[in-house]
Amino acid sequence: MVQYKIPVIAGDGIGPEVIAEGKKVLDAASEKHGFELEWIDYPHGADHYLATGELMPEDTLRELEKYKTIYLGAVGDDRIEPGILEKGILLAMRFYFDQYINLRPIKLLEGIWTPLKDKGPDDIDFVVVRENTEDFYIGIGGGAKEGRTHQELEVVRKLYKVKFDIDIDSDADEIAYQIGLISRKGTERVIRYAFELSRERKKHLSSVDKANVLPDIYGFWREIFRKVATGYPDVKTDFNYVDAITMWFVKNPEWFDVVVTPNMFGDIITDLGAMIQGGMGLAPGGNINPEGTSMFEPIHGSAPKYKGMQKANPIATIWAGAMLLEHLGEKEATGSVLRAIGQNIKEGKVRTPDMGGASKTSDVGDDIARIVRTLDK
């Protein structure tokens, strides 16, 4: 029997609660489809950081690198300044494992309410492929004011003085800056991945940028997109400015099938996508390196105020678990989990408060696991 060892970082807030239900459902799928899952739990998160001062040490990253997938709950805690856990754990893993694809299915399931008038499951069914390691998230930035080192001021002068004429020799002025960067290699590989995915779906790929006002960085994105597109003459393509695509996601979501986007824009538009598919509790995500270690998680965050209350919706985490199984090649088990999620929603008997019900987090996991076991293969 095939066995998969899967590291688990349940993390913070509601993370441990929703991960427990994800594991429960995936265990049911593995039993039904004849393979084994061995869960390897890691403690990294707020409690571990407060107790030890440790975020994600190099030794742990090297250990995790031995595995094909990681199952992540959530990272973030009110007791710790925003950004410390997110950068030190979540982004540390994304960059260390070069998880250059962030994959977000935007799919409205039957029986789920959407805020979009007169739209249904046939209208909202697309995938966003977000570049995950470049753009404005590369971490190059800082500030300058009187008294900073001469070398730093010279760098800032070169970047900003001609355009803005900032007198940073005076204590009356101070600036902050963040630099975005994309590479040909990084851009080409994510766009190529999106084209390949398009061929598996409806052969329609939409690109997102802001080349009209940021032509250096996003004009470069467009140039690379056009070049890669020549190898996929069977795929229909179009360009969309990021502000315009937020409008079209709301007005005409049926226009889209696969969307490829730079990192920052993808971060923004996928939250809009989550809302039109029914809410954060129904939004899974994958951080993927096709040749290395990939990580699967819900996109909703840790919601510390709901910790321990059993109110959180585990469906996004269970759906992310289905994506994990698909990444492992267990397509039949993936199908069972997705069908079970759909049946649970259609029946409407076991729902968490965000979906109008009164069920506990664990009740939803129990019900979906039950359905997995009763489905025909």
Q: Is the pLDDT of residue 197 over 80?
A: yes
Looking at every residue in the chain, the average pLDDT score rounds to 91
- One domain for residues 221 and 318: no
Angstrom distances, CA of residue 346 to CA of 309, 342, 375: 25, 6, 15
Dig out the tokens for 18 from the structure.
């929703």
The verdict on residue 356 lying in a domain is yes
The verdict on residue 132 lying in a domain is no
pLDDT score, position 43:
96
- One domain for residues 244 and 310: no
- Segments forming the whole domain that contains residue 254: 114-126+182-277
Q: Is the pLDDT of residue 186 over 70?
A: yes
The verdict on residue 135 lying in a domain is no
The verdict on residue 171 lying in a domain is yes
- One domain for residues 169 and 190: no
The verdict on residue 131 lying in a domain is no
**Which of 117-121, 167-171, 262-266, 358-362 shows the lowest mean pLDDT across its residues?**
167-171
DSSP H or E run through 101: strand 101-107
Which tens digits make up the pLDDT trace of 285-334? 999 999 999 999 999 889 999 999 999 999 999 999 999 999 999 999 99
Which tens digits make up the pLDDT trace of 156-170? 556 555 454 555 555
- One domain for residues 234 and 122: yes
pLDDT score, position 358:
96
Mean per-residue pLDDT for 346-361?
Answer: 94
**Distance between CA atoms of residues 257 and 19, nearest Å:** 29
Mean per-residue pLDDT for 125-129?
Answer: 98
**Helix, strand, coil shares of the chain as percentages rounded to 5?**
45, 20, 35
Residue among 216, 326, 197 nearest 262 (CA): 216
Dig out the tokens for 343 from the structure.
């049946």
Band (137; pLDDT cuts 50, 70, 90): confident
Split into its structural domains, the chain has a count of: 3
Residue % of the chain over a pLDDT of 90: 84
- One domain for residues 232 and 217: yes
pLDDT score, position 1:
84
- One domain for residues 121 and 269: yes
pLDDT score, position 162:
44
